[in-house]
Amino acid sequence: MKRLFRNSFKSIAMVSSMAMLFLCCTDNYERVGEEAKKTIYPQGVAQNFKLTYTEMPEKLESEAIDSSKVVAVLTSPISEDFENLRFKHQTFPEGLQIDFYNEKGEKTVIKADYGISYSITNLIDLRGNVVIDSHDGKKLEAPQIYWDRSNEWIFTQEKFKYTNPEDGTVMDGEGMDFNRDFTFFNAHKTYGLMMIKEELE
């Protein structure tokens, strides 16, 4: 009887000790900042990525094979696909280039160090040394620019530098929006150097 009691006591003591050990080892550390972020991995990664945006005519002939028109071509060394998330998007961590084509087939080029394409909103966020070179020599430089694919509209709230060789002007400003062909350009705030070429009589 004493031996059974002694063994039961040892078992209870062992179980209590183990329970206390596990309770003491719980992680009560509260993670903040970078530690608190959950690591999210893409569902796919593509190298030498190329995406062609095309436009179809309103009336599509049954025999028409080459009736679609190339509107833009997006290329990037790497594309990361996060289409499995609630807010679906693609990232271009090593930069990207977008070639726009107007009705005449003339090309305007946008380059950036980093980009995010949001499929739900049809918006592309371009960041880092963003440069737009239009087919007629106009150039826009900014740290960040958004391209609204649905409305074919480009805009930013950041500082920018706009060079127009047609009238010999260089404009510095902050915040602007324009269409992809630069036929409409609205600068929200301008300042700095502006050189205007004078016409000789």
3-state secondary structure of 106: coil
85 phi/psi in degrees, rounded to 5: -85, 170
Task: State the chain's mean pLDDT as an integer.
Answer: 80
Q: What is the pLDDT of residue 79?
A: 94
Q: Does the global pTM surpass 0.75?
A: no
Half-sphere exposure of 136 (CA within 13 A, CB side): 11
Specify the range with the lowest mean pLDDT, choosing from 4-18, 36-50, 162-176. Answer: 4-18
Rounded Cα distance between 170 and 101, Å, is 25
CA–chain centroid gap for 22, Å, is: 45
Element (H, E) at 1: none
Helices (H), the chain: 2-24
For range 147-175, the mean pLDDT: 86
Q: What is the pLDDT of residue 189?
A: 86
Q: CA angle, 189 as apex, 185 and 194 as ends, to 5°?
A: 80
Q: For domain 45-59+66-191, which architecture applies?
A: Sandwich (2.60)
